[in-house]
Amino acid sequence: MAVPSLQDGIDKAGSPIGLLWQPNAEPWTPEVVEREYVGWRQEQAAWHEGVALLNLSHHMYDLWIEGPDATRVLAEYGANNFEKFAIGQAKQYVPVTRDGKIVTDGILLRRAENKYLLSGVPAAQHWVQYHAEKGGYDVAFETDASSAFRPGGGDPKLFRYQIQGPLALELIENVFGGPLPETKFFHSTPVTLHGRNFEALRHGMAGQAGYEFIGPWEHAGYVHEAFLKAGEPLGLVQVGALAYTTPSVESGWIPSPVPGIYGDPELAEYRAWLPLFGIEGKRPLNGSYFSEDIADFYVSPYELGYGRLIHFGHDFHGRDALLKAKDEPRRTKVTLVFDADDVRRVVGGGADPGFVLTYARHRVETSAGLVGATMQTASIDPVGTVLAQTLIDSAHAEPGTEVTVVWGEHPGLGTDPEADLGFPRIRATVQASPFDRHARTEYRRNA
């Protein structure tokens, strides 16, 4: 029996929205790792006040891309600058459709002259692999799915551990017997720990200092134990799956925007190539903001803050659309700070609501009506309330602007998108994105 494709699923459901809209969908959290180790509040506090260890080994997809045409296919289907891309450097890869809408980003690490590793949500990986195969590029691929989807189970090919927080560099010096070589932001340096070779990627989350260590799985247990042992005197805290999802709300990264691939007739063949039971067919949409047109959920890389990554010095798929959109009005990425009393009233029924996490698209309104939609919402205990990464009309993006968030779940097709369903409102205040000052002003200074 043939594996059903994304297009099969759309046809059966009647529309992309019919396939994807799932009210009250459970939010994604990383697989395999414990949901909490010492409690999500303490785990969030660790990277703000001390030092935290995060295990990224199980939930990320990896795609190795190697061959004479590796750079060419990545450059022709991504908006990034490949003229300035050092071996050992990583970039937020930005593939777009011919209409200039994001396919979904990924972390692209250049391993050698003609070898790259693309990691993260697999939608960008699918995009590159499909076009490489269709276009006859001289390039080979090797894939490692996340631990929840790896065929036959088994261990990942790579371990990934992040060490983050004000005490991160002290911990790293304790582990390696001294400071690591000076490394630019989003660049990697080779490291050795008792004869075990791997890499340290200069990286951070929520504006905090730290590194992401990446290496062969055979060394995973040893490296993990070394960090735990050296971190014990510093109060090292392991971060579980709940708290792990939340730093993006402070650092301004919007995870898993809807790929702009569902309606274009020219992408029908691509949708027939994609499996239904993948990220494109199974990542749900929900919330109080509803539209029957999937295109209303697409986003531009400019809206995500990726304008600085777009390089018009080469030809690439979607270039003309991005050039046109460069000076057009668009939404602005902001952070909404929810009123704490309203959160307790609406979400917690008058009590502490506990851990809040949703990727729902909730309506954001002013007296003028609809002005935006939330993209990810989460409790941030060190801030004392809930924050939401939000795309909002630029006229309402000034910090200090007061808005309301409609908190509820539209039932979907068959109900007017503008129907008043009696959902409660939560007051919120617009603030900058990234919310964290360090992430906003200094994060990439040494890039």
Q: What is the pLDDT of residues 241-260, one digit of tens each?
A: 999 999 999 999 999 899 99
| Alpha carbon distance 382, 389 (integer Å) | 17
> What does the pLDDT read at residue 207?
56
| Alpha carbon distance 150, 130 (integer Å) | 20
Q: How confident is the model at residue 1 (pLDDT cuts 50, 70, 90)?
A: low
Average pLDDT in the 277-303 region? Answer: 97
Q: What is the pLDDT of residues 309-357, one digit of tens each?
A: 999 999 999 999 999 999 888 899 999 999 999 999 999 999 999 999 9
Phi-psi region of 245 (alpha: psi -120 to 50; beta: other; left: phi over 0): alpha
User: In sequence order, what are the beta bridge partners of 64?
Assistant: 117, 142
Average pLDDT in the 170-178 region? Answer: 97
> What does the pLDDT read at residue 443?
46
* Lookup result for tokens 């969908």: 25
Largest CA distance in the chain: 64
Instruction: Give the distance, in angstroms, between the CA of residue 383 and the centroid of all CA atoms in the same chain.
Output: 21
**pLDDT of 152 above 90:** no
**pLDDT of 441 above 60:** no
User: In sequence order, what are the beta bridge partners of 143?
Assistant: 63
**pLDDT of 444 above 60:** no
| Alpha carbon distance 51, 236 (integer Å) | 5
| Alpha carbon distance 274, 276 (integer Å) | 6
Beta-strand runs (E) in 269-384: 331-338, 357-358, 363-366, 369-380
> What does the pLDDT read at residue 167?
96
Host H or E run for residue 61: strand 61-66
Q: Which amino acid is at 199?
A: E
**pLDDT of 410 above 60:** yes
Q: What is the pLDDT of residues 63-108, one digit of tens each?
A: 999 999 999 999 999 999 999 999 999 999 999 999 999 999 999 9
**pLDDT of 267 above 50:** yes
pTM of the model: 0.95
Ranges of H-type helices in 156-288: 168-176, 220-231, 241-244, 247-251, 268-273, 279-282
> What does the pLDDT read at residue 151?
86
Q: What is the pLDDT of residues 96-119, one digit of tens each?
A: 999 999 999 999 999 999 999 999
**Exposed/middle/buried for 43, CB within 10 Å: 0-12, 13-18, 19+?**
buried
**Range name among 216-220, 305-309, 409-413, 435-439 with the lowest pLDDT average:** 435-439
> What does the pLDDT read at residue 437?
66
Beta-strand runs (E) in 71-149: 90-93, 106-112, 115-120, 140-144
**pLDDT of 205 above 80:** no
Average pLDDT in the 290-307 region? Answer: 97
Lay out the sheet containing 106-112: strands in order across. Answer: 90-93, 106-112, 115-120, 61-66, 140-144
Nearby residues of 170 by Cβ (< 8 Å), 6 or more positions away:
51, 234
| Alpha carbon distance 75, 163 (integer Å) | 31
> What does the pLDDT read at residue 164?
95
> What does the pLDDT read at residue 282?
94
Average pLDDT in the 371-392 region? Answer: 98
Instruction: Give the distance, in angstroms, between the CA of residue 302 and the centroid of all CA atoms in the same chain.
Output: 15
Average pLDDT in the 15-33 region? Answer: 96
Q: Are strands 210-216 and 158-164 parallel, antiparallel or unpaired?
A: antiparallel
The whole-chain average pLDDT of the chain stands at: 95
| Alpha carbon distance 7, 271 (integer Å) | 5
> What does the pLDDT read at residue 203?
83
> What does the pLDDT read at residue 73?
98
Kindly state the tokens that stand for 286: 């929900």
Average pLDDT in the 349-366 region? Answer: 97
